[in-house]
Structure 1
């Protein structure tokens, strides 16, 4: 049975999964989910994912939510020759990748989500001063990670880079990565040159950028 991915392309976690699928050369049946219309809160969707979030992956009878779990699952099951690089075989190397994924899940993405809530629910035009400071702090942490590696976990591309660049590229809408963080800026530039970024991240990035700007503009017109 083919993979099924429930998604909305503007979501950074969805784009992390799309980039992983692209790298692995995997195809999936895509189901667009209108989150604003409440399609993640229908009884049918909640039966599959009580967290009412996207992305949601179906692989036959197996159902999995959370992008970090999904991308590690995809590489572990279908990665074949790419598994050793993208997710590592050694305990220490894999643990470092996992830590960076947890950083994205618990810190970086959370700071993105707070800005979106501020725009959509609280009527803001972008990050509050505190949110901007928090994002800059997160950029500083990534700069530290990149001091000893070309990529955020190791000297090669891993799942950590794929997940984190989906979030960083979206934060960059409001808080551009500048030469204050030279290693992060260099890493981001290299990531933007990859084909998987251009094919699987850029379209959704432009989608969410346009959507949020439309929300801001509609309040000022």
Structure 2
């Protein structure tokens, strides 16, 4: 039986995993999870992932329920020493550093805004939340002042993971391209990648349209 990726296109981590499957030619069956109907809370799903998050990658009795771990695994298993996740230990450490930044800062700040809206129907965004998004722009601009991409001077899996998240921030806080030229250039470069156009654009837009309807400052 083929491996399965349980996903929802509106989810940034899921989109990152889907793009990685495309990039590394991972033989996998995509399975949509209906969150509104609680499919992520069924006993079967909780057995795979007690955290009831998406995505989840299942290959026989091997299960991964973190998108960053998936990107690392796909690159190592199917990437053939791809420059997206090279074997060089220092380069890999720089990539890992930005993967952890996406997980601990970028996605965490997005989730704090998005979860109340999607899960509980809460409307409005606080000034602190908006300031936190603005601060992420400062961080990213600083990183991109050192390299063309987040970790190195070429695209890596850190860019794939972060782009899936950052591509939705402008729906909450519009990006000032004059203030953040390097971030704007990075977003434009990522946007034109075929896998981003194919697997990220529609999900990000759906998220953005919903968030714009509920994110009036409170």
TM > 0.5? yes
**Residues 33-182 of structure 1 correspond to what in structure 2 (within 5 A)?**
33-80=33-80, 83-120=81-118, 121=120, 123-125=122-124, 127-179=125-177, 180-182=179-181
The answer to whether 1:189 aligns with 2:188 is yes
Q: Distance in 2 between matches of 1:33 and 1:159?
A: 24
Q: Distance in 2 between matches of 1:212 and 1:32?
A: 21
TM-score (norm 1): 0.91
**Residues 206-221 of structure 1 correspond to what in structure 2 (within 5 A)?**
206-213=205-212, 216=214
SS in 2 for 1:142: helix
SS in 2 for 1:185: helix
SS in 1 for 2:171: coil
TM-score (norm 2): 0.92
Q: Which moved more, 1:36-45 or 1:113-122?
A: 113-122
Q: Distance in 1 between matches of 2:56 and 2:79?
A: 19
> How much has 1:84 moved relative to structure 2?
3.4
> How much has 1:51 moved relative to structure 2?
0.6
Q: Structure 1 stretches of 5 or more lacking a match?
A: none
> How much has 1:110 moved relative to structure 2?
0.6
Q: Structure 2 stretches of 5 or more lacking a match?
A: none
Query: Root-mean-square deviation (CA), in Å?
Result: 1.7
Superimposed CA distance per residue, residues 87-136 of structure 1 (whole angstroms, 9 cap, x where no aligned partner): 121111111100100000011001101111343436223x3210111111
The answer to whether the 8 A contact 2:16-2:67 is kept is yes
> How much has 1:207 moved relative to structure 2?
2.5
Q: Distance in 1 between matches of 2:70 and 2:53?
A: 13
Q: Which moved more, 1:32-41 or 1:157-166?
A: 32-41
Aligned length: 213
SS in 2 for 1:35: coil
